[in-house]
Structure 1
């Protein structure tokens, strides 16, 4: 019987990194659909947004920052709690790790399980995983709704615009340059991972991002979006995937179909439009399972564990 390799175990291709300046104080570290990192270089300090998955991988970000500035890396901001975004934090030696209170609460509730689950799913993204210190990456500053930092004269707004990818989603906004770092609320030519998502809320959160009118945007995955037109395309693509998937699953659930049947139908419906996006096959079982949960009896995402991952994969792909 032909079965797919679990999650992204078959994914071994190393991606080419791009490090580019988007506006006076904003830089993007992107890698062909692998998780992105954002960098803000203020008057007196540097902020890193999302850390890479391990301290060894973070060293490459630091090396590139040092090619353009010797200012201290004082702040790390977490767009959300997922291991692939936070486990590299220790490498930066930052004075402060900033996250929403909702993200902090999720780390308390499910950080250990999420870490084990993600490392098991996506081995390539956790290079030199033994370099990750024991325990969790703990924020030192939390906020609710909005927080403003001043890096000298540079205004940096850290905002919760709504739930989507997780309940703690946080964006970083440079109002003076209209540059936004969205985390995984926005992807570009990459499949949104929605295993911990709020499908019904996500489109409204994208509306709130659009209302800021970003001139450029660093998505969670995919190339940096450098014009308002590209930003609009990134928002539209993310929105259509989330809505198409949820509508398909909600219809299946309403018709009394089980998870496996709902998955087959959603996969067939979405594959022609989105199948070429990075990590489509990886994300679909997790995304469908969460959408089915939300459409039936679980308003909040259930905790993923390594065991639950494997059981779900067997049920849908075995």
Structure 2
């Protein structure tokens, strides 16, 4: 019997936690669902990643309004995936900020990704009819580094390298050593690597670690509130990416096809990571992308709703 496609069988609501990390930083988390970061400056609020629909973003806004009435002026997109960006309109921000690489990915594959992700995650796209027509477009882009001052609070937006996507952006509070990593780092949640760069990701994590964050909001999973927890999150993400690559590389060198490599990789990693959130969802996409990278596709191929289903049928039937 084949597994339910992606996360279509995941229909149970998650318990939301709104964690205060400092007087300026908060983490909106929900038991492994996509996280949202909140930075409250002297004169304005910045939101990092939006939730998947405006209706779902309303709960984030409600939590923000419990701690401040300052205007939400900035929305930062850590990357282009629909589950992170399509709720942006609810905040009515003055600016939506993303890396230029993320902007380019929206141009190239935003529509395909939107259709793909809505098909994979019905629960996360609750009230999808509240998403305005079209895509979420940045109003400001940058390359490498951008600094925004929220009064006296410095926020650095940094591209530390390719990993989860080629456009990954982190938000860094250097005065407080708090990092919002997006999906470059996960905690007790399976990294989605369908659009990843397996070769680059570990080095990018090294650059994250070099900042020496004392607190970190991962893309999925609980907020990491001590340096020890931060190290656990970095180590777990790094180990998963390395293990997938090692298994797939061994299969490729042995001349095995994708189907055989997938089954062997799943069997080897399931005992170690199978308890992590969305493991069964991510593994077919992750192994397919890693196999591609090792066999002649340096850049990720576009996932469409049709390609998703074809891949799933080939590997999970």
TM-score (normalizing by structure 1):
0.99
Q: Is the counterpart of residue 8 in structure 1 residue 31 in structure 2?
A: no
Contact 1:24/1:177 (<8 A) preserved: no
Partners of 2:196 and 2:267 lie apart in 1 by 21
* Runs of 4 or more consecutive aligned structure 1 residues displaced over 2 Å after TM superposition: none
User: Which residue does the alignment assign to 1:64?
Assistant: 63
3-state secondary structure, aligned to 1:148: strand
User: Which residue does the alignment assign to 2:35?
Assistant: 36
Partners of 1:215 and 1:276 lie apart in 2 by 26
Partners of 1:316 and 1:96 lie apart in 2 by 42
User: Which residue does the alignment assign to 1:102?
Assistant: 101
User: Which residue does the alignment assign to 1:186?
Assistant: 185
Cα offsets for 1:107-143 (capped at 9, x unmatched): 0000000000000011111000000000000000000
Partners of 2:267 and 2:11 lie apart in 1 by 26
Residue-pair matches, total? 317
Q: Is the counterpart of residue 210 in structure 1 residue 209 in structure 2?
A: yes
User: Which residue does the alignment assign to 2:125?
Assistant: 126
Query: How far off its partner does 1:24 sit?
Result: 2.4
After superposition, residues 150-165 of structure 1 pair within 5 angstroms as 150-165=149-164
3-state secondary structure, aligned to 1:252: helix
Partners of 1:233 and 1:3 lie apart in 2 by 33
Structure 2 segments unaligned to the other structure (5+ residues): none
3-state secondary structure, aligned to 1:134: coil
Partners of 2:194 and 2:122 lie apart in 1 by 18
After superposition, residues 1-318 of structure 1 pair within 5 angstroms as 2-318=1-317
Query: How far off its partner does 1:19 sit?
Result: 0.3
Partners of 1:316 and 1:180 lie apart in 2 by 36
TM-score (normalizing by structure 2):
1.00
Partners of 1:30 and 1:82 lie apart in 2 by 18
Cα offsets for 1:275-314 (capped at 9, x unmatched): 0000000000000000000011100000000000000000
Query: How far off its partner does 1:101 sit?
Result: 0.1
Partners of 1:160 and 1:170 lie apart in 2 by 5
- Which stretch shows the higher mean deviation, 246-255 or 226-235? 246-255
Partners of 1:263 and 1:230 lie apart in 2 by 31
Partners of 1:122 and 1:4 lie apart in 2 by 15
Cα offsets for 1:165-189 (capped at 9, x unmatched): 0000000000000000000000000
RMSD between aligned residues: 0.4
Partners of 1:95 and 1:219 lie apart in 2 by 25
Cα offsets for 1:63-102 (capped at 9, x unmatched): 0000000000000000000000000000000000000000
Query: How far off its partner does 1:17 sit?
Result: 0.1
Partners of 1:252 and 1:244 lie apart in 2 by 13
Partners of 1:291 and 1:145 lie apart in 2 by 26
Query: How far off its partner does 1:251 sit?
Result: 1.0
